[in-house]
Amino acid sequence: MPHRPHLAQLRRLLLLPCSSVPVPVPARRLSSPRAMASSSVSAAAAAAQAGGAVAAAEYEDVMGRLSSLITQKVRAHSGNRGNQWDLMAHYLQILELEEPIARMKVIHVAGTKGKGSTCTFTEAILRSCGFSTGLFTSPHLMDVRERFRLNGVDISEEKFLKYFWWCWNKLKEKTDDDIPMPTYFRFLALLAFKIFSAEQVDVAVLEVGLGGKFDATNVVEAPVVCGIASLGYDHMEILGNTLGEIAGEKAGIFKKGVPAYTAPQPEEAMIALKQRASELGVSLQVAHPLEPHQLKDQHLGLRGEHQYVNAGLAVALASTWLEKQGHVERIPLNRTDPLPDQFISGLSNAYLQGRAQIITDSQVNSGEEDKDCSLVFYLDGAHSPESMEICARWFSHVTKEDRTVPSSMVQSQSCGNSQKILLFNCMSVRDPMRLLPHLLDTLTQNGVHFDMALFVPNQSQYNKLGTNSSAPAEPEQIDLSWQLSLQRVWQKLLHGDKGMNNTNSSENSLVFESLPLAMEWLRTNARQNRSTSFQVLVTGSLHLVGDVLRLVKK
Binding-site residues for Mg(2+): 138, 207, 235
The pairing of strands 357-360 and 375-379 is: antiparallel
8 Å CB contact between 122 and 318:
yes
Computed from CA positions of residues 105, 111, 117, 122, in that sequence, does the dihedral angle turn out positive or negative?
negative
Binding residues: 138, 207, 235, 355, 380
- Sheet with 509-511, edge to edge strand ranges: 357-360, 375-379, 532-539, 417-424, 452-455, 509-511
Closest of 218, 111, 62, 146 to residue 135, by C-alpha: 146
* DSSP letter for each residue of 504-527: T--SSEEE-SSHHHHHHHHHHHHH
In whole angstroms, what is the distance from residue 259 CA to residue 227 CA? 9
Helix (H, G, I), strand (E, B) or coil at 289: coil
8 Å CB contact between 153 and 127:
no
8 Å CB contact between 393 and 446:
yes
Binding residues for ATP: 355, 380
8 Å CB contact between 357 and 548:
no
In whole angstroms, what is the distance from residue 241 CA to residue 144 CA? 31
Helix (H, G, I), strand (E, B) or coil at 480: coil
In whole angstroms, what is the distance from residue 507 CA to residue 65 CA? 44
> What is the number of other CB atoms lying within 10 angstroms of the CB of residue 221?
12
> H-helix or E-strand containing 51?
helix 33-67
* DSSP letter for each residue of 185-251: HHHHHHHHHHHHHHTT-SEEEEE-SSSSTT-GGGG-SS-SEEEE-B--S-SHHHH-SSHHHHHHHHG
Closest of 490, 513, 491, 512 to residue 502, by C-alpha: 491
8 Å CB contact between 541 and 458:
yes
Q: Rounded to a whole number, what is the distance in angstroms from the first to the last CA of the chain?
A: 34
8 Å CB contact between 439 and 446:
no
> What is the number of other CB atoms lying within 10 angstroms of the CB of residue 394?
24
Spatial neighbors of 244 by CB under 8 A, at least 6 apart, are: 268, 269, 271, 272
> What is the number of other CB atoms lying within 10 angstroms of the CB of residue 290?
24
The pairing of strands 148-150 and 153-154 is: antiparallel
